[in-house]
Amino acid sequence: MEDLATIRKVLKGSHHAFGKLVRKYQGKVYYLCLQITKNTADAEDAAQECFIKAYRSLHRFRGESAFSTWLYAIARNCALDILKHRRETADIEEMTDLASEILEYDPEGSAVSKESAEKLISLIDELPEEFRSVLILREIKEMSYQEIAELLEIGEGTVKSRLFRARERLREKIRGAGL
């Protein structure tokens, strides 16, 4: 409800209200873009593009789903657009940066070593996109099955089966890597 009131203010011309939405969601949007692009610079570009597109198309938001779901769909598409244009594979340095950011994301500090985090990221990255995206959205972004289904434009049953398969494959990879 709070987002809808803020959106109404934005549609009436309040730049301050849009700034409020940006501040509320910028961390989550950036992190989602980072998970997709695996590159901090690309994630920043995708997040910025996401908010520009959201601002320009806010009048099209119908409120049928949560604003966050709508915004995350834009973020996902912006990140995927960047990947299409930059099909470069993430190198070891970028994976180290990502591991550091994941460790920094944990406010209590992580007991997981940086090396283990890098290995885990690498194993997640090996999953097929359809499994990886569902796993990240559910386990890291803590989205509901319904939100994931809306974001990816698939059924909730498909979300659950992909998540099950993603967890199974990741479990096998973790055992195989000795983590």
Domains of the chain: which residue ranges?
1-88
pLDDT, residue 104, reads 54
CATH of domain 1-88: 1.10.1740.10
pLDDT, residue 45, reads 92
pLDDT, residue 63, reads 82
Average pLDDT per 10 consecutive residues for the chain, totaling 179 residues: 86 90 94 89 93 93 88 93 64 47 51 67 86 84 86 89 89 81
Cβ of 74: how many Cβ atoms within 10 Å? 20
pLDDT, residue 90, reads 40
Which whole-number Å values give the CA distances from 137 to 6, 102, 145, 158, 159, in the listed order?
25, 15, 9, 14, 10
Note the residue count of the chain: 179
